[in-house]
Structure 1
Amino acid sequence: MVHVVGFRDGKAFYRNRFVRTDGLLAEQEAGQSLWAGLAEPPYLALREDGWGARRQMKDASSTDVVVHRGTALTSFYQCGDLYRLDPMSAETLGKVTWNGRFPVDWGVSAHPKVDDRTGELLFFNYSKDAPYMHYGVVDEADDLVHYVDVPLPGPRLPHDMAFTENYVVLGDFPLFWEPEALAKGAHVARFHREMPSRFAVVPRRGQTSDIRWFEADPTYVLHFVNAYEDGDEIVLDGFFQGDPEPQDNGMGNRWERAFRFLALDRMQARLHRWRLDLRTGLVKEEPLSESITEFGMMNGAYAGGKYRYAYAATGKPAWFLFDGLVKHDLHTGSEERYSFGENVFGSETAMAPRVGCTGEDDGYLVTLTTDMNADASYCVVFDAARVADGPVCKLRLPERISSGTHSTWAPGLELRRWSTAETAADAIDL
């Protein structure tokens, strides 16, 4: 389900819709589940076809959302179709085709990146088949204009990417499906501590032969915040996991054991910086914070360039639930915090620059919270420059919603129909 909150003329409007994927429509018609769930073996699926890098999965298109050319695009974390949504109504408009060049056999991973300066959509995909990864570029006219192999040693499980003015950065991390189990049809992810992390640096319109690989300390990076060029170096910021494969020590209930691969404290996720030296091929890395945070967001106008602030989530210990915000100042190392309160959980927090803004943090942070005490959900707005002061606006949603993960922000002028759309019927006075 996608949730849309819009702000216009002193009012806010809210809508939600399910993404009408082919898999959802097929199961609705059948009246039952046709594909196995994430934690179930694929052989339990009633249908042998499917989507995703491991196949035999339903394409939920439920992981990430971006806005490209005025249309919202949703994606699936293990690769699949991209679905087009009306950003005003959240109605599904169909699948992306890129004028017949969409890589149907491989799909697209979650976290494609939109470069607002060029209008390009940058993406990657991966699978169990060689070369195991591709990188592509869709231009501002919605044409797939670049698509190249990124050969890997075997099947991997990348999740995110980053870009600079002239390059993209892709990851090859030592957390991947165990080859012996994979040969038997089982998908068991293991962390290989003896192997380095690797970063592929690719010119934005480069070929396979232009790829340069950089080795770093072993970890897994679920999400990057940003990357930029600094002289001969590429500066890459993301969340270093101190323990990508938390062990089940028999402690806690079954939900805590299940969530150990996503709980921020179990993964030991901390903001981290890698410097990739294009002259020497060496990597220097350093922690940027001792705080456990993840799901970092920033002012999108600074994406791919030098920036100062990252807005990240804190997590309830042992659970995949966000219980607060941290504003990381990457120049001073200081942090500003806000806790949502006991049994109140948020989503990834989007940064909305103020119209006519004069600085990087001149704007608002927007998130959706779920208050389990009041059985209610809210859209909560913060002044990005003063996070610790608490919300400047809090809007109650019509129903309690489940806590979510990824989000995006787009100014109204970038959205189709913004200038003509009628929103008063769903508006809430601010």
Structure 2
Amino acid sequence: MTKAFPAIMTQGIDEPCRFEGEVFDLEVVEGTVPTELDGLLVQAVPDQVFPPEVAVIHPMTIAAGGDGSVRAFRFKDGHVDFRTRYVRTERYLLEREARRSLFGNYRDPFSDDPSVAGKSRTTANTALFFHAGRLFSAKEDGLAYEIDPDTLGTRGAWTANGAITSKTFTAHPKIDPRTGELFAFGYAAKGETTRDVAYYVFDADGALAHEAWFEAPRSAMIHDCAVTDNYVLFPMMPITSDMARLRAGGPHFIYEADMPQYFGVMPRKGCGDEIRWFTAPPAFPGHTVNAYEEDGKIVFDLLEAEGNGFAPVVADADGNAPPPGSVPNALVRWRIDYHANSTELTDREVLAPVGGEGAHIDPRRDLRPYRHMFVPTLDPKLLTTDVNGRPVPVMFNQLSHFDLHTGARTNWYAGPAATLQDPVFVPRSVDAAEGDGYLIALLNRPLERRSELVIVESLNLAAGPVARISLPLRMRLGIHATWIDGSLVPEWF
């Protein structure tokens, strides 16, 4: 690479790693890896291969615009093996051949090199999901890519044999654990900044079972969704896009504090004209936690921020964005009657203040009432500075357990200069009580420029890790992680 990364991209926890490879039998430096852990931990990572060749690099380009990389840890018989490999998207292959960046800012085709006009811009870097025996890496600005769960090789963009006609596909589909169906959607489905949404249901074998198209009230981000036995929900974030702003060189998204919350609700196999858009006072709906039905109503739990939940990577129209960790959020429960005369929501309950994002529950309780929630959180009072007095860049410094029956909260604090990445929850056994198992998370230590895996007992966080596993290199900050049971994927040799 003949052009260096600018300083703005090499400082802090978002510094590119640009590494592919494997380490057989990682070193366990403390404790013992539980032998009942048999499976594959996979994480999607935005890891820029080449520095963007634009005059102004937008914050979202740095935080979430990098080339997609799959990070994987295979657990078996108390041992852990590691592999990481880039997703060979169309974009990645074009830039690799050119040995330079050809695509500009996040979701901004007008900042691209003319040679790639009309090519797919997605980096497939946000989340991985496993369905019908196949592993996929996805980012919501394009199609998902299928990944070999053994070699991590890229098998190509997934179209479900041509059935997916949307230009985009969510990184957060949902699976009904009882039917095996997968529920997914793509917003801006006909192109950037459009209000079109494509909704898909795939059967347990991966074939398209249902499709519906509709328009959203605004051109805005629909990052996540939720499913119940009879309905699907689409929460819209107050982060809006605008084609004129893009053409003028502005960022793809801006935060609109006055935008009401919109929750689209439709039957699971409904048509586009059956969606109802419910509204609520302005707030920032983050990732969904769970949804189910009770007494004829939808119970919908999600993390809700009191302000700009995507700060500082997304600013308002004036360029203002609060610093990381300064916007409080909470676990909020909405009760929604799809058949109600009014579309104004009022039945809202705050279950717990959180101060974190990316909640996990026991997947055996998906679409059902649940008790335990696990979240990486930030306690800003426990932050520290480096030898020069500068704040150490930290995203989350705790793993937190919320018992929704007792109201109790338990934390494990990772240290004054440590930042936790997205954890996964693994049940102790197939018949273990709800929430009884392990949390596994990647832990970065920025001052030491190293990373490790930590394993903690989910219902005994205060005891600290039962195992620490050393990684011989620094891991770039990833996004969402997923656990796949070992019976579903091959062993590594």
Instruction: Give the shorter-chain TM-score range.
Output: 0.7 to 0.9
> Which protein has greater RCO, CA pairs closer than 8 Å, 6+ apart?
2
Q: CA deviation at 1:197?
A: 0.8
| Counterpart in the other structure of 2:59 | none
1:221 matched to 2:282? The reply is no
Choose the corresponding residue for 2:481, options 373, 391, 407: 407
| Counterpart in the other structure of 1:86 | 148
The residue type paired with residue 230 of structure 1 is: E
| Counterpart in the other structure of 1:63 | 126
The residue type paired with residue 282 of structure 2 is: P
Choose the corresponding residue for 1:359, options 421, 433, 437: 433
- Maintained 8 Å contact 1:219/1:241: yes
Choose the corresponding residue for 1:124, options 182, 185, 188: 185
The residue type paired with residue 26 of structure 1 is: L
- Maintained 8 Å contact 2:143/2:159: no
| Counterpart in the other structure of 1:284 | 347
Identity %: 30
| Counterpart in the other structure of 2:326 | 266
Distance 1:44 1:63 in 2: 22
Q: CA deviation at 1:277?
A: 2.4
| Counterpart in the other structure of 1:112 | 173
- Maintained 8 Å contact 1:73/1:83: yes
Uncovered stretches (5+) of structure 2, i.e. residues with no partner: 1-68, 313-318, 381-390
Distance 1:110 1:50 in 2: 24
Q: CA deviation at 1:336?
A: 0.8
Which stretches of structure 1, 4 residues or longer, exceed 6 Å deviation after superposition? 245-248
Q: Deviations over 1:241-284 (max 9, x none)?
A: 11127888xxxxxxxxx995783x23323222111123535441
TM-score using structure 2 length: 0.75
| Counterpart in the other structure of 2:74 | 6
TM-score using structure 1 length: 0.86
Using a 3 Å threshold, how does the CA distance of structure 1 residues 107 and 320 change in structure 2: closer, same or farther? farther
| Counterpart in the other structure of 2:164 | 102
| Counterpart in the other structure of 1:329 | 403
Using a 3 Å threshold, how does the CA distance of structure 1 residues 173 and 370 change in structure 2: closer, same or farther? closer
1:159 matched to 2:215? The reply is no
Distance 1:383 1:266 in 2: 29
Choose the corresponding residue for 1:208, options 246, 254, 272: 272
Using a 3 Å threshold, how does the CA distance of structure 1 residues 262 and 132 change in structure 2: closer, same or farther? farther
| Counterpart in the other structure of 1:27 | 95
Distance 1:246 1:229 in 2: 30
| Counterpart in the other structure of 2:368 | 305
Q: Deviations over 1:36-62 (max 9, x none)?
A: 0339x64331037568xxxx8731100
- Maintained 8 Å contact 1:173/1:196: no
Using a 3 Å threshold, how does the CA distance of structure 1 residues 37 and 213 change in structure 2: closer, same or farther? closer
Using a 3 Å threshold, how does the CA distance of structure 1 residues 91 and 159 change in structure 2: closer, same or farther? same
Distance 1:261 1:295 in 2: 20
Q: Secondary structure at the match of 1:28?
A: helix
Distance 1:142 1:245 in 2: 34
How many corresponding residue pairs? 403
| Counterpart in the other structure of 1:47 | 114
| Counterpart in the other structure of 2:6 | none
Uncovered stretches (5+) of structure 1, i.e. residues with no partner: 249-257, 424-430
Q: CA deviation at 1:161?
A: 0.7
The residue type paired with residue 305 of structure 1 is: R
| Counterpart in the other structure of 1:369 | 443
Q: CA deviation at 1:179?
A: 7.2
